Each structure stands twice: as structure tokens, then as C-alpha cells.
Amino acid sequence: MNIAFIAHDRKKADLVGFTIAYEHVLKNHQLYSTGTTGEKIMEATSLQLHRFKSGPLGGDQQIGALVADNKMDLVIFFKDPLTAQPHEPDISALIRLCDVYTIPLATNMATAEILLSGLKRGEFQWRDIIKGNEHGENQE
């Protein structure tokens, strides 16, 4: 599965701790992240991530492009709900794309834990069906 990680500045430490706790699950998947978030995860774990640009410089949009191409299976985005973000329209667009393309999205640790528990149990095979259908785009 392709899994993306994003975290606002005040949530990066939480996401790093989360990836440390779930490293045994995550190591079997293709991992992606925005720039600084990925750097911090790789410093703290043995996980390898494809790093895009930082969020404010377009990293959110790069991940959104994979979502729109139905190439992302899960997005974990630890948002800071108490701090205004200068790239809020990009964040909203990414969340909207996850909804449009039925991509599971966690915006806090509690939801992320539930999603990774399901991933560990193998409950995401339905993504293979959706990828094959691509919302009817390839049907004649």
C-alpha cells in the first residue's frame, strides 16, 4: 500500500512518535511524505520514505496529485487545528481529494491508530478493487 505522511510543525513530534510505534507495520509499505516531516521520520526510524517538497512549498499538492491519480491508498495528516496555516487552501484541496477518491484520511492520532490497526489486519484489500475500477473511468 502507498501511505503518505504529513504533519504541521506543532504535530511533527507526535507523528514521529506514531511512526516509531507502528514501524513494524509501516516497513512493509511504500511510504511518502512532505519534506521536513519525512526527514524527521527517517532520522527517528529505519523507514525509507519518498520525500516531496515541504507542505507550504507544494508538498501537499504533490501528494494530492497521487491521490487524484488513485495512486495513494492512505493519508495520515496530523493537522494542528489551533494554528492558522498559510497554505490552508492546499490542505482543504487535499482533504477534498481524499473524499472524492475514497482515500482513508486520518487527521489525528486516534483515527490514524484505527486505520493502522485495520491495515495490520489486512482490511484494505478493497483499495485494490477501487484501483481497478478507477471510478468507472476505464469502463466502456
**In the chain, where are the structural domains located?**
2-136
The predicted pLDDT at position 91 comes to 87
The predicted pLDDT at position 134 comes to 60
Phi, psi of 30, rounded to the nearest 5 degrees:
-85, 125
Q: pLDDT in tens for each of the 140 residues of the chain?
A: 999 999 999 999 999 999 999 999 999 999 999 999 999 999 999 999 999 998 888 899 999 999 999 999 999 999 998 988 877 888 899 999 999 999 999 999 999 999 999 999 988 888 877 777 664 444 33
Which residues are marked as active site?
60
* Separation CA 98–CA 130 (nearest Å): 13
Within 10 A of 72 (CB to CB), how many other CB atoms are there? Answer: 25
Residue type, 63: I
95 and 75 in contact (C-beta within 8 Å)? no
Longest Cα pair distance anywhere in the chain, in angstroms? 48
Place of cell 507495520: 25
Q: Which CATH architecture has domain 2-136?
A: 3-Layer(aba) Sandwich (3.40)
The predicted pLDDT at position 126 comes to 84
Residue type, 107: T
The predicted pLDDT at position 124 comes to 87
* Separation CA 85–CA 16 (nearest Å): 20
